Amino acid sequence: MTVTRNSFKGYVYQHQIFTFFAVLMDVDRNIIEIEAENVVNHQFDDLRIIMNNDEYYIQIKNYPNVQLNDINISNDVLTINNNKNKFNPENKNIVVVNSDTIETDTEIFGFDCTKIDDIYVIPMTPDFVFDTIEDMYFDDHRLTSILSYTSKLVANAHFKITINDIPKIDIFSTDLENKTVMVRKKVPSFISGCKFVIGKPGVGKSHCVNELINHHDDVMLYRFWVDSQDFFKEKRLHFNEFIKNMSYLVFQSPKRKTEQELVDEINTRSLKIVVDGLDHVENYMPRELYKFLNFFDRISEANMLVFSRPLKHLIHYPIENLDNWTTDECELYLSLEFNIQDYSLKQEIYDLSDGYPIICFFLANHYKIYKKLNISKKISGIEDYYDNLLEPVEFKNALSIFLVNSSYLTEEELFMLLPDQMLAEMILEFSKNFPYLFKKTANRLALIHDSLNTYIRDKYSKKESYLVSNARQFIADSIMNKEIRFLSRFKSSNLSEENKHKIIALYSNINVLKELMQKYYDFDSIREFYIDARDELENLNELLTIYEYYDFILIILTVQRNNLLGNHELLHNLVEYIVRNHSTENEIFSNASLWAAYQLEVNQDYYPFKKFVTEQDFPLETVDDYMDNLQIEKDFFQISKEKFDISQLEKAIKKLIPKLEEKKFLSGY
């Protein structure tokens, strides 16, 4: 039984049916308004639904196993088991009953029912309701969101909802980490069917996609990569996630569609689709690649562009190559992005880089820092650039330490993972001298571009394989010791299968969760680990004992139902605790809400919080709500520090005591 089914089982029948119609509103987008507990001059007042300009009045009856002959209609009154309900015969009236023993002979809303006089009778048991709504969605994520939404409505006695009130459909963000400077005069063109746009690393494929979309208003976009710290970086590479997100975009509904239904709709409507970064699938999720290619094969009447680096896999699609910038485009970029107006300097950068966008970016950044260029001969490509840059660097082999983890390493961890502290100091010094090669967020360090990652892997990883393997074993040992440092990076550390199996088995124990919760305050790291471990378990058979599986299920139920985002008071107090106890960001290892809140409060960096809120499909107003809560908390503690007259508090308590005694007496009566 799933988490959502357990939640649903706890609802009263009326709440279940209210939720059922909210789900229909969500997936079919035909119902535009639902109102419960209507004030009307009849008793079909449980629900009022507006759909396709028609209004329906619904009465909900929780009479298990009621028979058709238990229902009687006479003189505008519906009677079931002696319970009488007046209705207005001028309305479209429906009664929903908790029964599976009523024979049906017609349909309404696409569901089997029977019609007695002018009243539709829909038999729906709780199991039927939940099975039906569960089948409507791709996964539990959207269903959980709707269940949570309707529960809050019921709890707050707010029973009217419109289609515009339904939570926003959750799709992957396509916003790039760096803004796009519009400089290309010519962008790739669409053709009927699928075409590949092939470009070398760093030629600006993802930014070219933005430039292309700037010329077309009706393009649907899916990206396999947006930035190195993307919360969904690996999830994006799964074909099922691609189908789900594209289905949301195409149908404007979270309703589950088959792969073929999606293909047919794209072709029928001749849609424009852009898929960006297919090479990331080949590099990091190769078993999924053929599924994507099979999908692309069936796009015949629509217009699809697939942006990618050259693939190892042979492709048979039409290809358009994405070239370097022209002189004019390069000069425009340098003017707009770096405010470089010196014509001779712009020409020199173009000549050295041959208009290769990423090399222009590196050279301009270097000039911005040092007021001179660090390359004196023309560069033939990105590998040639890295060769020239790293040729005088004695410790370049040690850069392979960044291959250990695809997420980030902290500055402190460089000293832990490298065999020589001097190497760690050299790398940190190098990152300060060439900051444009790295993404640095607070104490976290990662390579800024995948081309550098690929270069290091191809050039040095074999020579330094012991360094990478030793570092990964260090990470595995740390996790096996129940240390929190690398928990949230369990998946991105690419540990050996043996180590992954040992770790999952160890942590499939409810007492381990209890130990972690008592020892550490970074709950997000614990949560992220278990969700990653669950994903790993889906591909493993019989790894755990039956009791370990039971424990693991209990743990997943626990961590999934708890999220610090939205619990502003707790989140703020955690940050306050860290600061007051002289801890730092070195004690936070997740990329989730605690990290984002710490950056916001301590470092006044809003970006991580806004980014995480967007990734988790919370409204951007959540940031403002959090800031408002911070002010309330500050005001409270400021007032608590001020002196006040204790006698006033004593008088207030004395006035309250008689009322408390009266309440105690009445409750025991």
What's the whole-number average pLDDT of the chain?
88
CA atoms within 13 A of residue 452's CA, in its CB half-sphere? 24
What does the pLDDT look like over 578-600, one tens digit per residue? 888 877 778 899 888 899 899 98
Q: Cα–chain-centroid distance for residue 446?
A: 21
* CB-based burial label for 627 (10 Å; 0-12, 13-18, 19+): middle
Per-residue pLDDT tens for 111-156? 999 999 889 999 999 989 988 988 999 987 788 788 888 888 887 7
Mapping DSSP onto H, E and C, the string for 602-648 reads CCCCCHHHHHHHHHCCCCCHHHHHHHHHHHHHHHHHHHHHCCCCHHH
Let me know how many helices (H) and strands (E) the chain has, helices first: 26, 19
Residues 43-84 pLDDT 10s: 888 899 999 889 999 999 998 888 888 899 989 999 998 889
455-469, 530-544, 562-576: which is most confident: 530-544
645-665: average pLDDT:
67
Q: Residue 220 is inside which H or E element, if any?
A: strand 219-223
Amino acid of residue 264: D
User: Given pLDDT bands bounded at 50, 70 and 90, which one contains residue 628?
Assistant: confident
Q: Is the pLDDT score of 173 beyond 70?
A: yes
307-339 CB burial, b ≥16 within 10 A, e <16: bbbebeeebebeeeebebbeeebbbbbbeebbe
Distance of CA 69 to the CA centre of its chain: 51
Q: Percent of the chain beyond pLDDT 70?
A: 94
The confidence score (pLDDT) of residue 81 equals 84
What is the mean pLDDT of the segment spanning 559-580? 83
Q: If DSSP codes are grouped into helix, strand and coil, which group holds residue 48?
A: strand
Which residues are within 8 A (CB) of 92 and not within 5 positions of it... i.e. 6 or more apart?
Answer: 54, 55, 56, 57
Mean pLDDT along residues 312-333 = 95
* The pLDDT value given to residue 256: 94
- Report helix angle 289-297 to 239-251, nearest 10: 40
Q: Answer whether residue 619 shows pLDDT above 90.
A: no
HSE at residue 266, side-chain half, CA atoms within 13 A, is 30
The pair of structure tokens assigned to 203 is 């030629």
Average pLDDT over every residue of 230-250: 92
Residue 273, classed as helix, strand or coil, is strand
Q: How confident is the model at residue 1 (pLDDT cuts 50, 70, 90)?
A: very low
pLDDT at 395: 87
Q: How far is CA 162 from CA 34, 166, 212, 572, in A?
A: 6, 7, 36, 33
| Token representation of residue 463 | 């020579």
Residues 6 or more apart whose Cβ sits within 8 Å of residue 540? 501, 504
d(C-alpha 531, C-alpha 550), whole Å: 16
Q: Which residue has the tokens 């392979």?
A: 400
Instruction: Name the more confident of 466 and 301.
Output: 301
Question: What pLDDT band is residue 3 in, cutting at 50, 70 and 90?
Answer: very low
| H or E segment and range at residue 58 | strand 54-61
pLDDT band at residue 364, thresholds of 50, 70 and 90?
A: very high
Task: Show the domains of the chain with their CATH numbers.
Answer: 3-165 (no CATH), 193-321 (3.40.50), 327-390 (no CATH), 396-560 (no CATH)
Residues in contact with 96: Cβ distance below 8 Å, sequence separation at least 6, in sequence order: 17, 58, 59, 60, 61, 122, 124
CB count in 10 Å sphere of residue 413: 26
Q: Which of 17-26, 33-42, 243-252, 523-532 has the lowest mean pLDDT?
A: 33-42
Q: Are 408 and 229 in contact (CB under 8 A)?
A: yes
Question: Does the pLDDT at position 2 exceed 60?
Answer: no
Sheet holding 193-198, edge to edge: 219-223, 272-276, 303-308, 193-198, 319-321
Q: How confident is the model at residue 627 (pLDDT cuts 50, 70, 90)?
A: confident
Q: Which amino acid is present at 380?
A: S
Distance CA 17, CA 59 (A): 10
User: Is the pLDDT score of 229 beyond 90?
Assistant: no
What integer pLDDT is reported at residue 665 of this predicted model? 47
Alpha carbon of 416 to those of 409, 470, 474: distances in Å? 10, 11, 9
Per-residue pLDDT tens digits for 475-492: 999 999 999 999 999 998
Alpha-carbon distance of 204 to 323, in angstroms, equals: 9
B/e letters for 371-394, b = 16+ CB within 10 Å, e = fewer, are eeeebeeebeebbebbeebbeeee
- 348 phi and psi angles, rounded to 5 deg: -65, -45
Q: Rounded to whole angstroms, how far apart are CA atoms 602 and 585?
A: 9
Sequence-distant (≥ 6) Cβ neighbours of residue 371 within 8 angstroms: none
Side-by-side strand order, sheet with 71-74: 71-74, 77-80, 83-86
CA distance 359 to 381: 8
Task: Please write the tens of the pLDDT for every residue from 599-614.
Answer: 988 888 888 888 888 7
Measured distance CA(364)–CA(338) in Å, rounded: 7
Angstrom distance (rounded) from CA 261 to CA 295: 12
Taking residue 407's Cβ as centre, other Cβ atoms within 10 Å add up to 20
- In this structure, what token pair is assigned to residue 159? 């029973």
Q: Which is more confident, 35 or 273?
A: 273
Residue 358: predicted pLDDT: 96
Q: How many residues does the chain have?
A: 669
Q: What is the rounded average pLDDT of the residues 536-565?
A: 86
Rounded distance, CA 80 to CA 67, Å?
9
With a cut of 80, say whether residue 194 has pLDDT above it.
Answer: yes
- The answer for 354, left when phi > 0, alpha when psi is -120 to 50, beta otherwise, is left
- The residue type at 229: Q
Q: Whole-prediction pTM value?
A: 0.82
Q: Which of 434, 418, 350 has its CA nearest to residue 386? A: 434
For the cut 70, the answer to whether the pLDDT of residue 10 exceeds it is: no
User: 3-class secondary structure for 109-135?
Assistant: CCEEEEEECCEEEEECCHHHHHHHHHH
